[in-house]
C-alpha cells in the first residue's frame, strides 16, 4: 500500500485540484476542517478515523470522548483544535515547520503559520488520536 508524505499531501491539498469546502465531507473533492484531518490520516497514515458526527463541532468533539488525547505539538502525528470561549471552533493538521493545514468556508484549503493562527485563536491545543479514534481499519 502506497501512502503519501506530509509534504506531498500538503502540495496536493493546496493545488488547484485540492478539495472545495463542504461541511461534513472528507474527500479530495470536498471537505470541511475535520474532513481535512480525516483525509490526512487516510492518505498519509493509511488509517480511517471514525465518521464525523453530523452536528456542531463542539457537540461532535464532545461525543468523541476518548478518541483524542491532548498532547504536545507533534508535527504530522497530531491535529490542532482552536478554542474560543471554551468551545472548539476550528481544527486541522500540524505539519513540520510549525505550519497548520486546514480549510475554511469561505476560502477553502490553507496552510497557516502557527503564530498567525494563534492571533486568531489564542487557545490552540494539540491532540493525537487514540485507538478509539479509528474505524475498524488495521494499522498499515
Local mean pLDDT, 10-residue blocks, the chain (140 residues) = 86 88 90 90 85 69 76 85 90 91 90 95 90 64
The pLDDT of residue 132 is 78
Cis peptide before 50 (omega within 30 of 0): no
The pLDDT of residue 115 is 95
The pLDDT of residue 92 is 92
The pLDDT of residue 110 is 93
Q: What is the pTM of this model?
A: 0.86
Phi, psi at 70, each rounded to 5°? -60, 140
- Interacting residues of 15 by C-beta distance below 8 A, sequence separation 6+: none
The pLDDT of residue 2 is 66
Domains and CATH numbers, the chain: 6-130 (3.90.1720.10)
Decide if 100 contacts 125 (C-beta within 8 A): no
What DSSP element (H or E) covers 104? strand 99-104
Amino acid at each position: 500500500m502506497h501512502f503519501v508524505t506530509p509534504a506531498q499531501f500538503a502540495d496536493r491539498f493546496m493545488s488547484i485540484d485540492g478539495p472545495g469546502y463542504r461541511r461534513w465531507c472528507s474527500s479530495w473533492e470536498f471537505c470541511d476542517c475535520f474532513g481535512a484531518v480525516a483525509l490526512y490520516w487516510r492518505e498519509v497514515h493509511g488509517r480511517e478515523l471514525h465518521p464525523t458526527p453530523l452536528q456542531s463541532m463542539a457537540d461532535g468533539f464532545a461525543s468523541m470522548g476518548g478518541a483524542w488525547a491532548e498532547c504536545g505539538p507533534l508535527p504530522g502525528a497530531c491535529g490542532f483544535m482552536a478554542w474560543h470561549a471554551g468551545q472548539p471552533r476550528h481544527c486541522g493538521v500540524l505539519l513540520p515547520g510549525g505550519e497548520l493545514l486546514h480549510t475554511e468556508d469561505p476560502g477553502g484549503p490553507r496552510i497557516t503559520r502557527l503564530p498567525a493562527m494563534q492571533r486568531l485563536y489564542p487557545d490552540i491545543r494539540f491532540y493525537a488520536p487514540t485507538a478509539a479514534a479509528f474505524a475498524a481499519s488495521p494499522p498499515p
